[in-house]
Amino acid sequence: MNRPLIKICNVKSKRDLEVVKSGGADVIGVRVLGGAFNPGQRDGFNLSDAKKKAALALEAAQIGLSTSLVITPLNYGALSKVFGGVKLDFLQLHMDVSKEEIDLGEVKELFSNPKLIGLISYEQVSNAQDVRLSHGTDLTVLDWARGGTGRSLNPATLRRYAQAQHANKLMVAGGLDHMNVTDLLGVIHPFALDLDSSVRDSNRDISEARVKRFVGAVRKASSSASKGTGLPYARANRSPWDKILDETIEEHDLVARSKALSITEAKDRYSSSDAALNERIWKALEQLRQFEEVKEEWLEAALIAFSSVTYFPTEMLRSSLRYLHLILHNHLVSLAVEFPNEPERYLNEFHLFANDPGGLTEDYFRINRIHGRLDPARHARVPGVQLLGDRLVDILDCNEIKSLSAALEIRQISEKRTWVLLADQSLSGHSLEGDIERLLKIRDLVNQADRKKMPQIMVLCQVLTNTAENNLKKNSMISAALKKQSLSIDAAIYLDDSYKVQSEDCRYFQSNDQKRSFQELCVWFANKFIKNDKDLERMRSRSGDNLEFGYRKAGLLIARQENCPTDSVPLLWYETSNPNMSNKYRGPFPRVHSRIGNQKTEKTQDLWEHILTHPNIVLKIRSALELARNINE
Amino acid sequence: MNDFSIEFPRPEDLVTLLDEGAHNFLVISAPNFEERSLEFIRFVGRRLNAIPSTVDWRIVTLQGSNRYDILDFVKARNANRATEYLKATDFLEGREATSHELPYPPRDDDLRRFFRECSEIQAADYSLVIDASAIPRGVLWAMIKLLSNTGPGGAGFRAPKDIYLIYAWAKGYPTHADAENAGRIQDSFAGKSLTETIERSDSVDAVLVTSGNSHLASRTLDQIMQNASKRDVAIEIVNFIRPRGFDRSSHHMLMHQGLSAASTSNDSVSSSYVYHVEHAFKWFETLAEKAFEKLQSNANHTFILAPFGPKILSICAQLVAEDFLMRINHDDGLAKRLADAHRLPTDCISVLNAQKTQYLSTYSIGADGEISILKFSGLTQYGGT
């Protein structure tokens, strides 16, 4: 049988038996309630009633129905004698067994080894984040504590429970009817369904018609052959759409988030996109769904994650450059620099390096209306720290022309009171750390060459994460310079740890189960796609893993209009490069990589070692400065 | 043009000045039912053991007609706490923490009386520090105008050399916040409605700040756009993002996507972002400059600032607007063209606010520890309008 067992509870008569049987249900529930229900009884229960129930159970067996005896605390030994000779399929303990003095093994034996069913009350689990079976019973019924209330259970709670347990050990009770059972079976596949009031008529008699209707609904909902047929929207009849609960949508603000993302992205279309974002998300989910090993809860978690992406629109980042320039401006003013309506005088005061030289520098100058960026007399053409290193190599060179040209630029840069290192984003801090360290060392060399020169270093980031900030501060050289205030780090946008999917207080998921599901998906994805992709060899090597959570485990869900950073999880940006793969994948924000494959290790590190440890470097810098000065004079 | 200057000092620097004892300060704390109205006292109290005698610290509460409702009790409780903070561990070195209760709304006479009561510290040049976190904007402005129009002591008190406006940022806002400012949107200069403000101009530049009450921003946007076909309209939606409060800022934008969508679907609407109070102020100045240029070539142009929160940005907007007005008044050619067009200078610039119609909460929740300061100097040159 591929559907849950259906139990009709509180059967009291032969007529009830017949109705249950003809209605198509499988199990009858008979109650012998003791203790508080039958105070004053010698063994805690009504003997005459118990005998009747035992006779019913016998008859049930004869017509092919199973019996579940529902009991509360009473004299189990005495009751077992009444039911001696009856083959009980289930013994349902309507109590919190963890609080009762009951030896489950003994009770089971007394009644000739039926399956024991314990009770977990819905009140106990409805608000719990993590729910666990706490009884030693074979099965568990989940119901409102008192039972028989007719109140329905919340599908979201059921699903949470089912994800934590084996659903095939669960009997669900509570307000079930032929309509809500269809929804329920979309969420969970329990062992059995327990009902009572919903199959009774106005006289409180069990109605054959109602039982038939309920059984029919369960059969239909359980039949895979009938799934999806006759439904108008096939696209919604698959994961995650068919199972996602309203509560999940509500808790995660999915409507608002996905709309906001669409609006932002429509205005500022992602550079590598070929369709609207919602469609890209849908396609990505469809691609994931093709893999059998991808669980339904993973897909739901992926939908939540994709809808929660932080997308930085271009104008937000452009505006941040104005703000960052304001920080620089205020710093220069504090040095008693005056700018009487001559914006180009800015360039007398600072040199701008970019962490990733490209359009960002040009944007900075243009947005802040600073003229003369390309005038060699105002701003040396050394846009990045790497090139500054090259200039230092040049002054060590014997070639006079090369050396002189470099000297002029180095002098110009050294004359500036402030060095600015501009970064679009620092998500792990790794790349920025290297540049800051080199600038600090070079500044040190310049200072040794000329004690009057000690430019302030200002790091200005459009976006900076808490992780990056902490990593930078762990560097002893950087930390010392920050303490001395000869270095400052500022950002327009700070992202705290809640933006990481592995974080304890990850903002994207409302439950640990969902977070766990997403993390499992990320690990599966890396194993499936990333591990063997040759194009990502270098990245994997530098990250030290398979990029399960993005480069260096950054765990972010962010994207910018120009490109999606590798610090975001690969589910966002990965695209299968091998056209021959049978199952391809393209994330909603496919990335254009600046480096692919595994190039030989750059000689960058060697170059820097050479410069910084060269025995004559300070002398060469000093000579270069003096040589340049002499020429100028 | 204005000779007053505006700066944005760091709160730590102000505390250092208070501590140095080299200069007189009159500090006004104005606790109300908002927790953040106590934040500045706490900020100073965490950093200093005592306040020198060069600092005269006053606690001012505004008393409306509802003396016994919950908000009033919370306000009274906070005023008590403020007093206790100042008295604690001899913070005032034996001096009293003087409290003043002013009627709400205060009239000019009430404010004059208050400043006279604080006149001792005003014997020499002094600076005024006002915790504006919880003072209604209208009251704050009335104080500033009163002081700026004050001569050297004739009124029984004198104008400060500088004014520091303190703004403590809230940790959050109650869910009812948006429903509270549901009243009429009007111009703070002349009390005209928004419709009245724009109906007599054929060209409008509007700056909408969305970071506070976005419903008001949406309503304003709608009303202006309704008139767009008859006018040359340019709207700038300014989003305020606090660098270390990106999550809250982005959540706010998430909840008010209609404003984001407006700039996607409409050529007359553009959006920009500001990341600091000073950044916002300078951006408003930039936008005001563009609007002034338009006014110089079209006497029927109107510049509208709609700063529906946070309050410190409203103050920045007001200052920019006052400067705009002064520029008009100092431009003889423009003044004449306006007169020919039968327009007053106050017809050309508007700062919008909304009448608060219901009090459903304590208005803000907690304080997140961050404090912004706006300092302006040269107050007597300011003049005000």
Q: What is the pLDDT of residues B61-100, one digit of tens each?
A: 998 776 666 777 788 888 888 888 887 767 788 787 788 9
Binary contact (A266, B282; C-beta < 8 A)? no
User: Which residues of chain B does A266 touch, with a Cβ-Cβ cutoff of 8 Å?
Assistant: 264
Q: Say if B267 is an interface residue toward chain A (CB within 8 Å).
A: no
CB A567 within 8 A of CB A548: no
Closest listed residue to residue A71, CA positions, set A6, A141, A15: A141
Identify the closest residue of chain B to A315 by CA–CA distance. Answer: B272
**Residue indicated by tokens 């021959």:** A580
Predicted confidence at residue A455, as pLDDT, reads 94
Query: Is the CB of residue B283 less than 8 Å away from at least one CB of chain A?
Result: yes
d(CA B2, CA B381): 7
Return the minimum-mean-pLDDT range out of A51-55, A235-239, B370-374.
A235-239
Whether A498 sits inside 8 A of B275 (CB atoms) is no
| pLDDT 10s digits, A212-264 | 988 988 888 787 544 555 556 666 677 787 777 777 888 888 888 888 888 88
Q: Band of the pLDDT at A275, cuts 50, 70, 90? A: confident
Q: Does residue A580 carry a pLDDT above 80? A: no
Nearest CA in chain A to B280: A323
Is A320 in contact with B275 (Cβ distance < 8 A)? Answer: yes
Q: Of the ranges A116-120, A611-615, B229-233, which one carries the lowest mean pLDDT score? A: B229-233
pLDDT band for A45, please (50, 70, 90 cuts). confident
Whole-number Cα distances in Å, A101 to A74, A75, A146, B294, B366: 11, 12, 20, 87, 49
Which of A330, A308, A312, A310 is CA-nearest to residue A320?
A312
Q: Please, which residues 202-261 of chain A have a Cβ atom closer than 8 Å to chain B?
A: 253, 256-257, 259-260
Of A135-144, A612-621, B332-341, which one has max mean pLDDT? B332-341
The confidence score (pLDDT) of residue B55 equals 92
Q: Using CA coordinates, name the residue in chain A closest to B261.
A: A263
Mean pLDDT of A572-597: 84
- Amino acid identity of A473? K
Shortest Cα–Cα distance, B200 to chain A (Å): 33
**Beta carbons of A494 and B244 less than 8 Å apart:** yes
Kindly provide the b/e burial profile for residues A220-240, where b requires at least 16 CB atoms within 10 angstroms of the residue's own CB: ebbeeeeeeeeeeeeeeebbb
Looking at CA atoms only, how far is residue B360 from chain A in angstroms?
Answer: 25
pLDDT single digits (tens) A192-205: 999 998 888 888 89
In degrees rounded to 5, what are phi and psi of residue A4? Answer: -65, 155
Distance (Å, whole) CA A309 – CA A287: 19
Contact B139, B64 (CB under 8 A): no
CB pair distance less than 8 Å for A257 and B254: yes
Nearest to A119 by CA among A71, A164, A58, A79: A71
**Contact yes or no for B264 and A266 at CB 8 A:** yes
Q: Which letter does DSSP use for residue A568 in this model? A: B
Q: 0.90 cut: is pTM over it?
A: no
The answer to whether residue A127 scores a pLDDT higher than 70 is no
Q: How far apart are CA B59 and CA B138, in angstroms?
A: 19
The answer to whether the CB atoms of B241 and A492 lie below 8 A apart is: yes
Predicted confidence (pLDDT) per residue in A481-532, tens digit: 999 999 999 999 999 999 999 998 899 998 888 999 999 999 999 999 999 8
Whether the CB-CB separation of B325 and B1 falls below 8 Å is answered with no
User: In this complex, do B246 and A495 lie within 8 Å of one another by their Cβ atoms?
Assistant: yes
**What is the Cα gyration radius of chain A?**
36
CA distances from A531 to A200, A298, A527, A564 (A): 59, 20, 5, 20
Q: Are A102 and A73 in contact (CB under 8 A)?
A: yes
CA pair distance B145, B108, nearest whole angstrom: 10
Enclosing H/E stretch for B56: strand B55-63
pLDDT in tens, B359-370: 667 778 888 889
Q: How many CB pairs under 8 A join A and B?
A: 59
B214 CB-near residues (< 8 Å, 6+ apart): B178, B252, B255, B256, B259, B308
Mark which residues 272-311 of A lie under 8 Å from B by CB. Answer: 310
Q: Which residues in chain A are contacts of B260 at CB distance < 8 A?
A: 260, 263-264, 267
Give the ranges where A83-179 is alpha helix by DSSP (H).
Answer: 104-110, 122-125, 155-164
Distance CA B299, CA B313 (A): 28
* Residues in A touching B253 (Cβ below 8 Å): 260
How many Å is the Cα radius of gyration of chain B? Answer: 21
The nearest CA of chain A is from the CA of B243 a distance in Å of 4
Which member of B255, B278, B282 has the closest CB to residue A256? B255
**Which residues from B are below 8 Å from A459, CB to CB?**
none
Please give the torsion angle defined by the CA atoms of residues B335, B341, B345 and B350, in that order, rounded to the nearest 10 degrees. -150
Is B255 at the interface with chain A, CB within 8 A? yes
User: pLDDT at position B385, please?
Assistant: 40
* Chain B: closest CA distance from residue A264 (Å): 7
Q: Is the pLDDT of residue A306 over 90?
A: yes
Rounded to whole angstroms, how far apart are CA atoms A45 and A77?
A: 12
Backbone phi and psi for residue B60, each to the nearest 5 degrees, phi listed first: -120, 130
Measure A491 CA to nearest chain B CA, in Å.
Answer: 7
Backbone angles phi, psi at B336, to 5 degrees: -70, -45
State whether the Cα torsion A330-A331-A334-A335 is positive or negative. Answer: negative
Asked if A220 and A226 touch (Cβ cutoff 8 Å), the reply is yes
Higher per-residue pLDDT: A228 or A57: A57
Rounded CA-CA distance B328/B311 in Å is 26
Using a CB–CB cutoff of 8 Å, tell me whether B272 touches chain A: yes
Q: What is the dihedral of CA A100, A101, A103, A109, to 10 degrees?
A: -80
**Nearest residue of B to residue A259 by CA position?**
B257
Q: How far apart are CA B161 and CA B159, in angstroms?
A: 7
Chain A environment of B273 (Cβ under 8 Å): 315-316, 319-320
A254 CB contacts (<8 Å, ≥6 apart)?
A: A248, A303, A304, A307
pLDDT band (50, 70, 90) for residue B1 = very low
Residue B105: asked if its preceding bond is cis (omega within 30°), the reply is: yes
The whole-number pLDDT of residue B16 equals 94
The Cα of B260 is separated from the nearest Cα of chain A by a number of Å equal to 7
Helix, strand, coil percentages, rounded to 5, for chain A: 50, 15, 40
Tens of pLDDT along A293-302?
899 889 999 9
Closest CA of chain A from B148, distance in Å: 27
Contacts of A330 in chain B (CB under 8 A): 278
* pLDDT at residue B137 tops 90: no
Q: Is the pLDDT of residue A604 over 70?
A: no
Confidence of residue B383 (pLDDT cuts 50, 70, 90): very low
pLDDT at A104 over 70: yes
For residue A602, pLDDT beyond 60: no
Q: Minimal Cα distance from B237: which residue of A? A: A315
Characterize the bridge pairing of strands A27-32 and A5-8: parallel
Distance from CA of B313 to the nearest CA of A (A): 16
Confidence of residue A128 (pLDDT cuts 50, 70, 90): low
Tell whether B261 lies on the interface with A, counting CB pairs under 8 A.
yes
What pLDDT score does A554 carry? 93
Mean confidence (pLDDT) of chain B = 85
How far is Cα B210 from Cα B261, in angstroms, rounded to an integer?
13
User: Which among A326, A492, A495 has CB closest to B278?
Assistant: A326
Average pLDDT over residues A100-108: 84
How far apart, in Å, do the first and last CA atoms of chain A sit? 98
Segment among A553-557, B1-5, B53-57 with least mean pLDDT = B1-5
What does the block give as tokens for A441? 């060392």
Residues of A with Cβ-Cβ distance to B276 under 8 angstroms = 323, 326
The reply to whether A319 touches chain B by the CB within 8 Å rule is yes
- The pLDDT assigned to B379 comes to 66
Is pLDDT of B382 > 60? no
CA distance B294 to chain A (A): 21
Q: What are the residues whose beta carbons fall under 8 Å from the beta carbon of A345, sequence distance 6 or more?
A: A337, A339
Q: B260 vs A263: CB contact, 8 Å cut-off?
A: yes
A145 Cβ partners below 8 Å, 6+ apart?
A: A121, A122, A123
Statement: residue A51 has pLDDT above 60: yes
pLDDT tens profile A365-422: 999 998 887 887 778 888 899 889 888 888 887 777 777 888 888 988 998 999 999 9
Overall average pLDDT of the A98-113 stretch: 85
In this complex, the residue of A259, A316, A491 whose CB is nearest that of residue B243 is A491
Return the pLDDT at A149: 63
User: Residue A225: what pLDDT?
Assistant: 47
pLDDT at A152 over 80: no
**Coil, helix or strand at residue A270:** coil
Q: Compute the average pLDDT of residues B279-294.
A: 96
Residue A123 confidence (pLDDT): 72
Query: What pLDDT is attached to residue A148?
Result: 64
Helix axes A180-187, A155-164, angle to 10 degrees: 30
Percent of chain A past pLDDT 70, that is, above it, reads 87
- Higher-confidence residue: A439 or A580? A439
Q: What share of chain B is helix, strand, coil (3-state, %, to 5)?
A: 45, 25, 30
Contacts of A495 in chain B (CB under 8 A): 246
Cβ <8 Å between B261 and A316: no
A439 pLDDT tier (thresholds 50, 70, 90)? very high
Least Cα separation, residue B271 to chain A (angstroms):
7
Average pLDDT over residues A270-274: 84
pLDDT over 70 (residue A64): yes
B271 touches A: beta carbon within 8 Å: yes
Nearest CA in chain B to A322: B279
CA distance B269 to chain A (A): 12
Interface contact flag, B271 A315, Cβ < 8 Å:
yes
